[in-house]
Amino acid sequence: MLSIKNFSLSLADKALIEALNVNIKNGQVVSLMGPSGIGKSSLLNFLSGTLSSGLNAQGEVYLDQVAIHTKTPQERRVGLLQQTPLLFPHMSILENLSFAIPAKVKKCDRLELAYQALERVGIKDKANATPEQLSGGQQARVALQRTLLSEPGFLLLDEPFSKLDPALRREVRVFVLEEIRKANIPALLVTHDAEDAKAMQGPCIDLAAAH
């Protein structure tokens, strides 16, 4: 369970977001909508601990009742999925996946885990391929699997579907929701597209309306 309490954001005396309270249950995806410039990305940066200076953000974040807004980014156990899949082009798909597995996992178990993730994407024949040999939809799914393999405590999705063409987008959305439910972690989706929010079958917060 991820709780955001009393989050407010302002840029040089101009309030962008005021007193936002969100609770996300495990396995649930909450969508956040609103026009660009309203501070959606800043909220994600605030959650992952990489907010740039110049913005004034306040609020508290709890993951399973533990405060994480005081922690460094690497201690927060945050997984982030962006518009571009950012798969490392110089590694095979299998290497990309096993890169994310925590170092404490032993070598043969790593391969087993990576291979299982590959199977969930449905491309186990592409283990030895490089990312450029995959389609856009496959890359997006591998990117999600990679993030999940790093065992994050919660997931942030920054418009991960916006670069896919419409037909693929539907498939990938279903896949993402399923995998998040399987992983049973809270997830926050930022999007422009109302369809995205609907497909996630969770609450939707419209920042523009709240203003």
Partner 1 sequence: MLFNRLRITSWLLALLLTIPVLVGLVGTLLPAFHYFPPLGELHFSLASWRALWQNDEFYSSLKLTLITGIIAPVVALWIALSLLAWGYQRAFFQKIEKLLAPILAIPHAAIAIGLLFLLSPSGWLMRLFSPWLTGFDRPPNWITVQDPYGFSLIFALVMKEMPYLLFIMLASLHAIDARKTLEVCQTLGYKRLTIWRKVLIPQLYPIIRMPIFIVIAFSLTVVDLAVVIGPNTPSTLAVTLFHWFNDPELSKRFVASAGAIALMLVIGVVMLGWELAHCALTRLTKAERSNGKRTGFTDYLLRMGVLFGLVTLFSALVSLVILPIWSLTRRWRFPDALPSSWTFDNIKRAYPILIELSSNTLIIAFSATLIACLMSALMLEIKRLTKHSENHPFDWLIYVPILLPQIGFLFGLHILLIQINLNGTLSAIIALHLMYVLPYVYLSLRGPYLAYNEDYLVQANRLTHRPWRNYFVIKLAMLKPALLTAFAIGFSVSIAQYLPTLIAGEGRYSTLTTEAVTQAASGDRKQVGSMALLQAFFPVFVFWLAHVLPPRWTRWRLALYLRLRKCYKQLPIHGQ
Choose the stretch contacting partner 1; rule: CB under 8 A; options: 23-31, 37-45, 78-86, 162-170.
78-86
Task: Indicate the residue among 96 and 191 with the shorter CB distance to partner 1.
Answer: 96
Residues 92 and 40 sit within 8 Å (Cβ to Cβ): no
Q: Under rule CB under 8 A, which residues in 152-211 are in contact with partner 1? A: none
Task: Indicate the residue among 110 and 169 with the shorter CB distance to partner 1.
Answer: 110
Nearest to 5 by CA among 16, 21, 18: 21
Structure tokens given for 97: 């996946």
Determine the residue type at 126.
K
Tell me how far apart the alpha carbons of residues 50 and 78 are, in angstroms, rounded to a whole number. Answer: 11
Is 146 among the residues that bind partner 1 (CB under 8 A)?
A: yes
CB-count burial class (<10 Å; 0-12, 13-18, 19+) for 128: exposed
Task: Indicate the residue among 14 and 104 with the shorter CB distance to partner 1.
Answer: 104
Number of residues that bind partner 1 (CB under 8 A): 32
Is 124 among the residues that bind partner 1 (CB under 8 A)?
A: yes
Options 21, 58, 70, 84; binder of partner 1; rule CB under 8 A: 84
Choose the stretch contacting partner 1; rule: CB under 8 A; options: 18-26, 121-129, 134-142, 170-178.
121-129
Is 92 among the residues that bind partner 1 (CB under 8 A)?
A: yes
10 Å Cβ neighbour count for 48? 17
Residues 207 and 31 sit within 8 Å (Cβ to Cβ): no
Is 119 among the residues that bind partner 1 (CB under 8 A)?
A: yes
Nearest to 78 by CA among 183, 3, 148, 175: 148
Is 91 among the residues that bind partner 1 (CB under 8 A)?
A: yes
Spell out where 72-186 has E strands. Answer: 78-81, 154-158
Is 2 among the residues that bind partner 1 (CB under 8 A)?
A: no
Options 4, 78, 172, 180; binder of partner 1; rule CB under 8 A: 78
Tell me how far apart the alpha carbons of residues 10 and 8 are, in angstroms, rounded to a whole number. Answer: 7
Tell me how far apart the alpha carbons of residues 179 and 75 are, in angstroms, rounded to a whole number. Answer: 23
Residues 133 and 84 sit within 8 Å (Cβ to Cβ): no
Is 122 among the residues that bind partner 1 (CB under 8 A)?
A: no
Task: Indicate the residue among 18 and 109 with the shorter CB distance to partner 1.
Answer: 109
Q: What residues line the site for partner 1 (CB under 8 A)?
A: 48, 50, 73-74, 78-80, 82, 84, 86, 88-92, 94, 99-100, 102-103, 108, 111-112, 115, 119, 124, 127-128, 130, 146-147, 150
